[in-house]
Amino acid sequence: MSGPAPALDTGTRLAIDRTRLAYERTMMAWIRTATSLISFGFTIYKFFDLELKGNQSALSARGFAIIMISSGLVALTLAGIQHHASLRALRAEYGHFPRSVSGPVAALIGLLGVLALIGVIVRA
């Protein structure tokens, strides 16, 4: 670990805050994208499950739902890794700043996505 964070002037401090908030906005955009993929996949599954009752072809509604939900979970995971690395680099360079709010939100959406994926897979 490096020594104490350097004393920063107001302009630098504001630039760091803008950068940190840009990282937060980017992560929240990824959370919205992942939520859309997960909910769209689950909705398609439930809609066609009610309509078709038992059609299990290679790319059935169930297969499509699994692809969409998995895509959302992968996107959310990769975005979370990138977000964490970006904040860690910023923190290493400029010292401590407030914790990310989007991290726990991403974890919650990820948990809901995993539950949706399990629900689609188990309900064959």
What's the whole-model pTM score? 0.82
pLDDT in tens, 57-72: 657 888 889 999 999 9
Would the pLDDT of 25 be above 60? yes
Q: Report the pLDDT value the prediction gives residue 110, as an integer from 0 to 100.
A: 96
Residue 13 has pLDDT above 70, yes or no: yes
CB 20 within 8 A of CB 97: yes
pLDDT class for 87, splitting at 50, 70, 90?
Answer: very high
The predicted pLDDT at position 98 comes to 86
Q: Are 27 and 86 within 8 A, CB to CB? A: no
Structural domain spans, the chain: 34-122
Output the six-digit token pair for 91: 């923190």
Whether residue 99 is predicted with pLDDT greater than 90 in this model: the reply is no
**51-76 burial, b for 16+ CB within 10 Å, e for fewer?**
eeeeeeeeebbbebbbebbbbbbebb
> Over 60: is that where the pLDDT of 93 sits?
yes
* Spatial separation of the C-alpha atoms in residues 71 and 116, rounded to whole Å: 13
